[in-house]
């Protein structure tokens, strides 16, 4: 039976040599072509297969659905600093007003004032909070420090009185 296999279909889950995923989010997936190439290069063991197969004139092979590496890859001890990872750390919530919409990230101490792009100086923020706190590093720092205990919002009278007057 000849079956056309699309390049985007039938991904293979890639497990480390200890059978844990190489990464959890995003999950480590390879295309079926990369998985088959790794099988032929003897870099992986096939753990499970799809029911579909690929054919050549003299060879047939079921598509691997789960593969494990033959050699252990040491996981990174520090997560990459990315916008998505900042959102993940902050649970996709603005750290100033706890909104879930229109997120970006904000430097607590602005880069123009010497602040760096580090895990300690960057938080998830909605665009309304970024514009409300722009140009006021003390307001950002105070709001960010209290972000775990106090909900502040641009429409809140306490927020307006405390931070917009600064």
Say yes or no to pLDDT of 149 above 70. Answer: no
Cα separation of 137 and 75, whole Å?
Answer: 37
Pick the most confident of 5-9, 64-68, 117-121, 146-150: 64-68
Position 24 scores a pLDDT of: 77
pLDDT exceeds cutoff 80 at 142:
no
* Residue range 83-154, CATH number: 1.10.30
Contact 113, 141 (CB under 8 A): no
Residues 32-88: tens digit of each pLDDT: 999 999 999 999 999 999 999 999 999 999 999 999 999 999 987 788 888 988 998
Alpha-carbon gap, residue 79 to 97, rounded angstroms: 26
Task: Express each pLDDT in 84-112 by its tens digit.
Answer: 889 989 999 999 889 988 899 899 899 99
The pTM of the full predicted model, rounded to 2 decimals, is 0.55
Alpha-carbon gap, residue 117 to 141, rounded angstroms:
15
Among residues 37, 122, 115, which one has the least CA distance to residue 85? 122
Collapsing DSSP states into helix, strand and coil, what is residue 16? coil
Task: Work out the burial of residue 39: count CB atoms within 10 Å of its CB; fewer than 13 is exposed, 13-18 middle, 19 or more buried.
Answer: middle
Distance CA 133, CA 125 (A): 10
Residue 57 burial (CB count, 10 A): 4
For residue 145, the SS3 value is helix
Domain ranges of the chain: 12-69, 83-154
Interval 19-28 mean pLDDT: 84
Average pLDDT, the chain: 79
| C-alpha angle 121-127-130 in degrees, rounded to nearest 5 | 45
Region 3-10: mean pLDDT is 64
Instruction: Provide DSSP, 80-109.
Output: ---HHHHHHHTTTS-TTT---SSEEEEESS
């Amino acid at each position: 039976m000849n079956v056309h296999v699309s390049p985007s279909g039938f991904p293979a889950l890639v497990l480390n040599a200890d059978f844990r995923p190489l990464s959890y989010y995003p999950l480590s997936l390879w295309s079926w072509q990369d998985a088959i190439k790794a099988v032929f290069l003897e870099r992986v063991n096939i753990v499970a297969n799809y029911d579909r197969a690929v054919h050549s004139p003299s060879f047939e092979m079921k598509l691997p659905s789960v593969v494990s590496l033959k050699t252990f890859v040491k996981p990174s001890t520090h997560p990459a600093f990315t916008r998505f990872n900042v959102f993940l750390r902050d649970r996709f919530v603005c750290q100033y007003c706890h909104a879930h919409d229109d997120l970006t990230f904000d430097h607590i101490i602005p880069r123009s004032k010497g602040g760096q792009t580090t895990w300690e100086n960057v938080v998830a923020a909605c665009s309304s909070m970024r514009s409300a706190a722009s140009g006021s590093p003390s307001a950002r720092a105070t709001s960010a420090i209290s972000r775990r205990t106090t909900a502040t919002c641009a429409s809140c009278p306490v927020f307006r009185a405390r931070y917009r007057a600064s």
